[in-house]
Amino acid sequence: MKKILFLMMGAALMMSCGNSKEKMKQLARENLELSVDYPKQLKVLAVSEPDSAFGTGYFTKDEVKGMLRTMKVVTDTIMKRTGNMSRFNPEDHYVVSLAERQMRSMADIRSLIMHGDRKGEFSGWKVRIDYQCVDAAGLPYRSERWCFIDKEGKQVYKSFELPIP
């Protein structure tokens, strides 16, 4: 009888955890939809499982390496397209938009990492979403969005994006 009771409690716990993870992923998607210029053009490519967050500035070494690798790819793309800036064209909306998004991202990354390299107390959850959409000028773009969600899994309290060329 005790075994059955423990099995039922375990199953209920697993179901409730899975359900809350799906709710957090949905919350992150809804937050993303509110932030893009054309939500109907939004295509979600991947959503990570919610991971424990210990402040908005604490990332694992692998996460930081991934972010910096992404920024290097963006820089390389801009340099290749502009001939190391020797053929920069301010009318090239793709390059200008990508550079603006990269500068915003680098500022966010710097402030997050500089203030949070130590693992603090559990502060909630983080979810990463890879997506593509269309910007205000009608050009398609891809990005990776990080959403920080409170401990209860009910509210996104911080987010930032990394452009993907």
Please say if the pLDDT value at position 61 is more than 70: yes
Distance between CA atoms of residues 50 and 25, nearest Å: 7
Residues 122/52, Cβ–Cβ less than 8 Å: yes
The whole-model pTM stands at 0.78
Residues 145/131, Cβ–Cβ less than 8 Å: yes
Mean pLDDT in residue range 76-96: 93
Please say if the pLDDT value at position 7 is more than 60: no
Residues 58/119, Cβ–Cβ less than 8 Å: yes
Distance between CA atoms of residues 132 and 110, nearest Å: 24
- From 6-15, 62-71, 113-122, the region with the lowest mean pLDDT: 6-15
Tell me the pLDDT tens digit for each residue of 92-148: 999 999 999 999 998 887 877 676 556 778 999 999 999 999 998 889 999 999 999
38 torsion bin: left (phi>0), alpha (psi -120 to 50), beta (else): beta
User: Quick one: tokens of 93?
Assistant: 């909306």
Report residue 47: phi and psi, to 5°: -130, 125
Residues 3/91, Cβ–Cβ less than 8 Å: no
User: Which of the 8 DSSP states describes residue 48?
Assistant: P
Mean pLDDT in residue range 44-71: 88
Please say if the pLDDT value at position 9 is more than 70: no
Please tell me the predicted confidence (pLDDT) of residue 152: 94
Distance between CA atoms of residues 28 and 47, nearest Å: 9
Please tell me the predicted confidence (pLDDT) of residue 6: 47
Please tell me the predicted confidence (pLDDT) of residue 116: 58
User: Quick one: tokens of 127?
Assistant: 């979810």
Please tell me the predicted confidence (pLDDT) of residue 99: 93
Distance between CA atoms of residues 28 and 145, nearest Å: 9
Coil vs helix vs strand at 131: strand
Please tell me the predicted confidence (pLDDT) of residue 127: 97
